[in-house]
A and B are shown apart, each in its own frame.
Chain A
């Protein structure tokens, strides 16, 4: 049972470098999410995709772009990394019925990103 798989698990970047975090889920969920977690801040929503072909901004979208490649995959791109983007990034997915979220979020194990 893979669930939600994120890659890479760890990454160190220099300021100004770009990178893409990959996320894939095998539960046939409609909705996918990217969160970041900083000490003392809880989880903050960066972007989400309610269904294949749609993406929307969350609480902290600046400096990020996303792509919902297909129903399984949702990637997060940092075009020009900054030290403020040092964080742990979590991808999650959930089922949706109509306009309502019907159940729990399933999380990946996280990607730990350090920007020097």
Chain B
């Protein structure tokens, strides 16, 4: 079974709005990462947050981590049509491997 589960599975918003997606995971972690995948392409790393961090920012991205609830959220502010993609969280589960969630499909309407 997969370590992470993203919520919602799909999200459609207007350009300029904020998009929030959530990730829940099952075991203790050292870090959690968010990735983006454009249709038909490989995944691209967005941001990494370590287990001792609660919030991290990168440009229009804000990630929070709540290890007590085993959950993380990714906020994209002022969304653009170019943000249309699938977004995945990945956790290391305390081992050498990363396990991915099922992803959130984001569609930003111009």
Residues of A at the B interface (CB closer than 8 Å) are 4, 31, 33, 35, 40-45, 48, 50, 56, 58-59, 90, 92, 94, 96, 99-101, 103-110
Contacts and interface: CB of A to CB of B under 8 A. Distances in A.
A108 B96 contact: no
B56 to A, nearest CB: 13
5 contacts: A43-B88, A45-B99, A48-B96, A56-B97, A99-B96
Contacts of A40: 102
B99 to A, nearest CB: 6
Given A43-B88, A44-B100, A45-B98, 11 more contacts: A40-B102, A58-B97, A100-B30, A101-B30, A103-B48, A105-B45, A105-B90, A105-B98, A107-B42, A109-B42, A110-B42
Interface residues of B, number: 24
A58 B92 CA distance: 12
Given A42-B100, A45-B97, A59 B45 contact: no
A108 B42 contact: yes
Contacts of A103: 48
A41 B45 CA distance: 19
Given A42-B2, A59-B2, A110-B41, A104 B99 contact: no
